[in-house]
Amino acid sequence: MTVRVRYAPSPTGHIHIGNARSALFNYLFARHNNGTMILRLDDTDRKRSTDEAIQSMIEDIKWLGIDWDEGYLKGGPYGPYRQTERMDIYDRYIDILLKEEKAYELYYSEEEIKEIRNEYVKQNKKFSYRYLKETETEERRRAFKENNKGLLPAVVFKVEANKEIVVNDLVRGNVKFNSSEFSDFVIRRTNGIPVYNYATVIDDALMKITHIIRAEEHLSNTPKQLFIYDALNFPHPLFAHVSLILAPDRSKLSKRHGATSVGQYRDMGYLPEALFNYLALLGWSPKDNREFFTKEELISLFTLENVNKAPAVFDINKLTWMNHHYIENLSSGEIIKRAELIGIDFSKKTKEWWVELIDVAKEHLNTLKDIEKIAAPFFEELTFESDVLDELKTYQPVELLKKFKENIASLTEWSMQNTLKTIRQTGKELKIKGRNLYYPLRLAITGSRAGLEIHEFIYFIGKEDTIKRLDKAIKELMKDA
């Protein structure tokens, strides 16, 4: 069997983590099996499927590292690959279903159906499209045509009674349903737009999709789709319904748990390699303890047999840890190049200065955005929060600061190694060492308790600014003396 899979999003906005994971699994499965991946746009929601949303989705997929072989923007033998361009195809198979009496037209507007359904609920009665059709009169059909100009009768699929349906699921095994659990359902609305469960079957069948890999929330839709496969004598594809992605508290992943779209993670400074690697491990396991994989390794190892049934938990802390690993393995020049793409400004210093800074700051970078946090103190006026100043005073550091200022001012060759030597020299002269030496200097020169090593910080701000900061700290300390 030649493997053909598809990723068929509704392009109504950014690609969220769940959709991205589905796209990734399809991509890995296709590449592992030397198959074909198709990108199809399920864009029948015409109000929300804008050109901007489509462009955003394409950018997100490409940034993540997912490519496709056939479909939107690439063409292929089974196009068009946008549902809005396939309406005549859907209508053709609607006509077949109507002709073979496997579906029927219903002359009620959506508003009328809603009112009738609500009334049934009030009376605790079961709603039935079939009953409406059986009691439909010629007068009703005439009134519909007169009062609903531009609308078509809805088309309803007729569910065969007491038929067993088996979903051949490569993750969950055979899942059985009985058609008695389902009632007739609309497959084309009065505005002429087909519903998802109908259009996706026509598309998947005609595009010769062999495997449908998607989230388990679609499993309940699958029997309806198989009814249509059978009614049109289409062969069944194989299914793989992968587990949901949950938040760490086991609730449904949502915006309150942080960013949920691929684009947001890109803008927050995560690398595509890290997100690609992390998403591959959400619900899939290589059956060993490895955490880091190249794209090629994931393609080589990925099989549906190793996809887990249990829900996957999205842990932002683990993704951040993984992102740190990938950043550390990039050159500083490449880090700068990537950071510029998300709008980080490197214009205030030379490229050489930035490369040196990132060389020593890599171990502190969890995301590309952390560059801004680390660099900010170099471009801001030194200020002392009251608690920091109070803590600095406990060391009674004026003599230390004055001596260090004298030594740093006499330094002739400016290097990181020499700034460290100067600190140590000052400590020896005053017989101060360890925390009592380094920490007061940090508080006095940076105004902060954490950050780069103090000798590194001094090197990057330069001699002149170091002296200015020491003068300011001494002045603050001498106010109450």
Residues 236 and 158 placed together within one structural domain of the fold = yes
Among the candidates 222, 242, 262, a domain finishes at 242
* Per-residue model confidence (pLDDT) at position 257: 61
Query: Considering 195, 223, 242, which residue would you say is the last residue of a domain?
Result: 242
Range of the domain at 15: 1-71+243-329
Q: What is the CATH number of the domain that holds 425?
A: 1.10.10.350
Asked whether residue 372 is domain-assigned, the answer is no
User: Do 112 and 67 belong together in one domain?
Assistant: no
Residue 310 lies in a domain: yes
SS3 27: helix
> Which residues belong to the active site?
255
Report yes or no on 350 lying in a domain: no
Q: What is the pLDDT of residues 425-460, one digit of tens each?
A: 999 999 999 999 999 999 999 999 989 999 999 999
Q: From CA 413, how far away is CA 401, in angstroms rounded?
A: 20
Structure token pair of residue 163: 């038929």
Does residue 158 sit in the same domain as residue 255?
no
Asked whether residue 57 carries a pLDDT value surpassing 80, the answer given is yes
pLDDT value at position 481?
60
List, in sequence order, every residue forming a beta bridge with 70; answer none if it has no partner. 38
98 plus 23 within the same structural domain? no
Q: What is the DSSP string of 419-450?
A: HHHHHHHHHHHHT--THHHHHHHHHHHHSSSS
Judge whether 191 lies within some domain. yes
Which pLDDT value is given to residue 258? 61
Q: Are residues 50 and 155 in the same domain?
A: no
Instruction: Supply the pLDDT for residue 357.
Output: 98
Residue 349 lies in a domain: no
In a domain, 463, yes or no: yes
Is the pLDDT confidence value at 256 over 70? no
> Would you state the structure tokens that stand for residue 144, as one six-digit string?
């519909």
Kind and range of the H or E run holding 119: helix 110-122
* CATH code of residue 319: 3.40.50.620
Is 353 contained in some domain? no
Residue 351 included in any domain = no
Average pLDDT over residues 9-34: 93
Contact predicate 49/11, CB 8 Å: yes
Same domain for 307 and 455, yes or no, is: no
316 and 267 share one domain: yes
Pairwise pLDDT comparison (13 vs 195), residue with the higher score? 195
Domain boundary among 242, 269, 291: 242
Q: Is residue 83 helix, strand or coil?
A: helix
**Residues 227, 125 share a domain:** yes
Check whether residue 259 and residue 141 sit in a common domain: no
Ramachandran assignment for 350, one of left (phi > 0), alpha (psi -120 to 50 degrees), beta (any other) = beta
Q: Which residues of 387-425 are buried (b: 16+ CB within 10 A; e: fewer)?
A: ebbeebbebebbebbebbbeebeeeeeeeeebbbebbeb
Whether 247 and 223 map to the same domain: the answer is: no
**Look-up of token digits 């500083």:** 332
**Given this model, what pLDDT does residue 366 score?**
98
Query: For the segment 331-370, what is each residue's pLDDT rounded down to a tens digit?
Result: 999 999 999 999 999 999 999 999 999 999 999 999 999 9
Tell me: do 105 and 190 sit in the same domain: yes
84, amino acid identity: T
| 117 and 228 within one domain | yes
Percent of the chain whose predicted confidence (pLDDT) is above 70: 98
Count: domains in the chain = 3
Rounded Cα gap, residues 144 and 139, in angstroms = 9
